[in-house]
């Protein structure tokens, strides 16, 4: 009994003294059938609106926003960039400290070819469970490296590692000048030793894509790299337009924007 009381006491004290642990959340979206827009928890949607984050675009327009998370290089990003250049499609790449220091040439190419570099934190921690000071260091260290490599200071989009967040972490991100970007489409594509082929990637994307989709893909996936060209071509044939996050934010601010 005394043992369980001690454990309970520690748990309660943790919640009281470190409230962010109690309020940490895992991003969640619910796919819909027949290429209809995904949904999420009303609480999550409300929090993102409160702190001007995004997870989906205008669901009345056939726009798509491609985003890639880049934790490390697995040899496929060059092919992804080649496809995006050939198809004239913009994308956002959310990078970590390891990636930006290890792949400076790819970072420079991304910028040169008009893509957005987003902040995925320096060390990929759970941003909802670190101190305010550590949070700021995680973002600033990554941004400084970006500036040193590219000479630019325009890093303004943030993707919380693993999609974990809290109201406090969203607020801190906004205070640091970032728009938190989540997603309305993703699939399990980050397992580098579990390649299932380009057809699997293609079908996974095509059956769940929807108007206003913010698409999360991982650049470590060979399947994604091989399927991307066909995905882009076929979605364009269906009337979709690939847009940048800058376009999304500009139109989100317009009175006609509908969620």
Catalytic member of 69, 126, 189, 223: 69
Residue 115 appears among annotated catalytic residues? no
CA dist 125 and 96 (Å) reads 10
Within 8 A by CB and 6+ apart from 63, the residues are: 57, 211, 212, 240, 241, 242, 243, 247, 248
Please say whether the dihedral angle defined by the alpha carbons of residues 121, 122, 128 and 134, taken in this order, is positive or negative: negative
Give the whole-angstrom CA distance, residue 219 versus residue 226: 11
Task: Answer yes or no: 218 catalytic.
Answer: yes
The dihedral through the CA atoms of 32, 36, 40, 42 has a sign that is: negative
Give bridge partners of residue 158 from the DSSP assignment: 119, 180
Strands 39-40 and 29-30: antiparallel
Beta bridge partner(s), residue 54: 181
Distance CA 110, CA 131 (A): 32
All residues at 6 or more sequence positions from 197 whose CB lies less than 8 Å from its CB, including other chains: 223, 226
The one catalytic residue among 115, 120, 124, 218:
218
CB-neighbour burial class of residue 78 (10 A; exposed 0-12, middle 13-18, buried 19+) = middle
Catalytic residues: 69, 218
């Amino acid at each position: 009994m005394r043992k369980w009381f001690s454990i309970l006491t520690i748990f309660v004290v943790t919640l009281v003294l470190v409230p962010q642990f109690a309020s940490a959340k895992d991003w969640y979206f619910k796919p819909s059938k027949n290429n209809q827009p995904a949904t999420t928890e009303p609480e999550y949607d409300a929090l993102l609106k409160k702190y001007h984050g995004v997870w989906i675009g205008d669901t009345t327009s056939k726009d798509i926003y491609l985003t890639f998370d880049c934790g490390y290089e697995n040899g496929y990003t060059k092919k992804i960039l080649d496809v995006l250049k050939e198809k004239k499609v913009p994308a956002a790449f959310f990078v970590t400290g390891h990636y930006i220091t290890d792949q400076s040439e790819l970072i420079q190419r991304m910028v040169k070819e008009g893509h957005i570099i987003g902040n995925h934190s320096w060390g990929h921690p759970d941003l909802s469970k670190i101190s305010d000071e550590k949070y700021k260091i995680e973002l600033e260290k990554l941004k400084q490296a970006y500036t040193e490599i590219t000479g630019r200071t325009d890093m303004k989009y943030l993707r919380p590692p693993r999609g974990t967040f809290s109201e406090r972490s969203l607020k801190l991100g906004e205070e640091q000048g970032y728009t938190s970007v989540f997603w309305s489409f993703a699939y399990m594509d980050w397992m580098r030793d579990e390649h299932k082929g380009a057809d699997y990637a293609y079908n996974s994307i095509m059956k769940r894509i929807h108007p206003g989709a913010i698409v999360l893909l991982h650049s470590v996936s060979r399947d994604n790299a091989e399927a991307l060209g066909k995905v882009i071509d076929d979605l364009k044939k269906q009337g979709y337009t690939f847009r940048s996050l800058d376009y999304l934010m500009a139109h989100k601010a317009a009175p006609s924007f509908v969620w």
